[in-house]
Amino acid sequence: MSLISLKNVSFKYENTLVLSNVNFEVDEGDYVTIIGPNGGGKTTLLKLILGFIKPSEGEIKINVEKKRIGYVPQKAVNFDHNFPASVNEVVSMGRIANRGLINMLNKEDYDKVESSLKFVEMWEKREEKIGELSGGQQQRVFIAKALCSNPEILILDEPTTGIDSNSRDNFYKLLKELNKKGITLVLVSHDISAIVKDVNKVFCVNQKVNVHNDIKELESKENKFLCAYPENIEYIGEHHLKVKK
Amino acid sequence: MIDLILKYTFLQNAIIGGVLVGITCAIIGSFIVLRKMSFLGDGLAHISFGGVAAGILFKINPLISALGFAVLSGIGIQKLKDMKIYSDAAIGIFFSFGLALGVILISLSTGYTVDLYSYLFGNILAINQFDLILMGVMTIVALITVVMLYKELFYITFDEETAQANGIPVKWLNQILVIICALAIVTSMKIVGILLVSSFLIIPTTTALVLGIKSFKRTIFTSVIISVISVFMGIFFSYYFNIATGGAIVMTLVALFTCVLTYSKLIKKN
Whether the per-residue pLDDT at B130 is higher than 70: the answer is: yes
What is the pLDDT, as a whole number, of residue B62? Answer: 86
Task: Report the mean per-residue pLDDT for chain B.
Answer: 88
CB-nearest partner of A84 from B159, B169, B209: B209
When mean pLDDT is compared across A170-184, A195-209, B173-187, B215-229, the lowest value belongs to A195-209
Residue A233 DSSP one-character state: E
The pLDDT tens digits for A80-99 are 888 999 999 999 998 887 78
- How far off is chain B from A232, nearest CA to CA, in Å? 32
- How far off is chain A from B48, nearest CA to CA, in Å? 30
ipTM of the assembly? 0.81
A96/B168 Cβ within 8 A: yes
Binning pLDDT at 50, 70 and 90, where does residue A241 land? low
Whether the per-residue pLDDT at A224 is higher than 60: the answer is: no
A96/B158 Cβ within 8 A: no
Give the separation between CA A71 and CA A50, rounded to whole angstroms.
9
B212 touches chain A (CB under 8 A): yes
Instruction: Using alpha carbons, select from A4, A45, A44 the residue that is nearest to residue A153.
Output: A4
Give the separation between CA A70 and CA A67, rounded to whole angstroms.
8
Give the separation between CA A192 and CA B194, rounded to whole angstroms.
57
Amino acid at A87: V
CA distances (Å), origin A232, targets A36, A245, B270: 10, 8, 50
Give the separation between CA B134 and CA B115, rounded to whole angstroms.
18
Cα-flanking dihedrals φ and ψ of residue B12, to 5°?
A: -60, -45
Whether the per-residue pLDDT at B169 is higher than 60: the answer is: yes
Question: In sequence order, which residues have a C-beta less than 8 Å from that of residue B163 and are 6 or more positions away?
Answer: A93, A96, B152, B155, B156, B170
Whether the per-residue pLDDT at B224 is higher than 90: the answer is: yes
Which tops the pLDDT comparison, A126 or A160?
A126
* A240: exposed, middle or buried (Cβ count in 10 Å: 0-12, 13-18, 19+): middle
What's the predicted TM-score (pTM) here?
0.81
Largest Cα separation within chain A, whole Å, is 56
Q: Concatenated DSSP letters for B117-135?
A: HHHHH--GGG--HHHHHHH
The pLDDT tens digits for A161-216 are 767 777 778 888 888 888 998 999 999 887 776 677 788 888 888 877 777 776 66
β-pair partners for A201: A32
Residue B221 DSSP one-character state: H
What is the pLDDT, as a whole number, of residue A66? Answer: 79
Binning pLDDT at 50, 70 and 90, where does residue A51 land? confident
